[in-house]
Amino acid sequence: VTLAEEITLAQRYLAIEEVRFGHRLQVQWSLDPRTDAARLPPLLLQPLVENAVKHGVEPSPRGGKLKVMTELRGSRVVVRITNTLPTEKPGAAGSPSQGHGIALANVRARLALLHDVQGAFSAGVQDGLYQVRITLPAPAAPRPAAPAHAPRTPGPRRSSP
């Protein structure tokens, strides 16, 4: 599927979660339309935004922020999903567990199946935020259409003697 299709699905999911969490969930989108045609496995972003809500926003009484960003960097498309972290420590009384990393491992494996070494995946805490970063090959630039040849116009007809 295309990145644009995956973004649309993630937007629909997060719109539902915004209704559920109200002001506790703040979502920011920074999307580069030049990345729309990049290819990725279906339902790759869904578990990532779901994890961001489940582990970053839901456990915090104040809620949290989630940002989805796409950008074209040379011949690569970079997708970043970042979320704030709850102030409570995982495993503390009343806070959810940290998770098992199954969704992250699944995303990493599926990305490798489609793009092999051309795709990259990383996840972890950076600058106080949890960040997932996916790198994909940029979509091929549309090739210019072949020059249209002028239609041949018949020359003047010669009559036979």
What pLDDT, on the 0 to 100 scale, is given for residue 157?
57
pLDDT of residue 96 exceeding 50: no
The whole-angstrom separation of Cα 58 and Cα 105 is: 22
* Mean pLDDT over each residue of the chain, to the nearest integer: 81
Residue 38 corresponds to which tokens in the numbers above? 């990049």
Give the total residue count for the chain.
161
pLDDT of residue 94 exceeding 60: no
| 53-75 pLDDT tens trace | 999 999 999 999 999 999 999 99
Nearest to 136 by CA among 160, 117, 156: 117
Distances (CA, A) of 145 to 141, 148, 149, 154: 12, 8, 12, 26
The structure tokens 């999307």 sit at 31
With bands split at pLDDT 50, 70 and 90, how would you rate the model's confidence at 80?
very high
Mean pLDDT on 47-54: 92
The whole-angstrom separation of Cα 13 and Cα 49 is: 8
